[in-house]
């Protein structure tokens, strides 16, 4: 969880100066879709970090998990990457999305303790 908070803080600092005059949302995931995608991506990262895989094996395992997540969400990696780049320039909206991501991951962690 500490890594997630560091990631959020870093993203906010890096992109806080970027302002977009015209917002083009063609092909961009909705905030809800982006939230779900980020939740799944972070869960994939967590799964890889709890294995004994290293190097190329870990990367291959992650890519398989990532592809499965995109398939489950009915999105492509290109859509995700385009949306990530878009929201990176929309700091307030990205902050709201990541707030929901962190809340969801925290809730999952809490529920895991009880079940």
Task: List, for residues 53-112, the tens digit of each pLDDT value.
Answer: 888 999 999 999 999 999 999 999 999 999 999 999 999 999 999 999 999 999 998 988
Handedness of CA 18, 22, 37, 84 (dihedral sign): negative
| Encoded tokens for 3 | 């890594």
Q: Please indicate, yes or no, if residue 6 is contained in any of the structural domains.
A: no
Q: Please indicate, yes or no, if residue 73 is contained in any of the structural domains.
A: yes
Q: Looking at the whole model, is its pTM more than 0.85?
A: no
Q: Please indicate, yes or no, if residue 18 is contained in any of the structural domains.
A: no
pLDDT in tens, 3-44: 544 445 444 444 444 444 345 578 899 999 999 999 999 999
Tell me phi and psi for residue 24, to 5 degrees.
-110, 110
Burial degree of 32 (CB within 10 A; 0-12, 13-18, 19+): exposed
Q: Please indicate, yes or no, if residue 32 is contained in any of the structural domains.
A: yes
Give helix then strand counts, H and E, for the chain: 5, 0
Q: Please indicate, yes or no, if residue 11 is contained in any of the structural domains.
A: no
Q: Please indicate, yes or no, if residue 79 is contained in any of the structural domains.
A: yes
Domain that holds residue 63: 27-114
Q: Please indicate, yes or no, if residue 92 is contained in any of the structural domains.
A: yes
Q: How many domains does the chain have?
A: 1
């Amino acid at each position: 969880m500490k890594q997630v908070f560091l990631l959020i803080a870093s993203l906010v600092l890096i992109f806080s100066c970027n302002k977009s005059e015209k917002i083009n949302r063609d092909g961009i995931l909705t905030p809800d879709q982006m939230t779900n995608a980020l939740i799944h991506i972070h869960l994939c990262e967590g799964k890889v970090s709890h294995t004994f895989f290293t190097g190329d094996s870990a990367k291959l395992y992650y890519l398989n998990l990532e592809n499965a997540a995109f398939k489950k969400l009915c999105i492509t990696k290109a859509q995700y990457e385009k949306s990530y780049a878009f929201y990176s320039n929309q700091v307030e909206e990205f902050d709201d999305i990541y707030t929901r991501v962190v809340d969801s991951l925290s809730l999952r962690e809490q529920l895991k303790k009880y079940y």
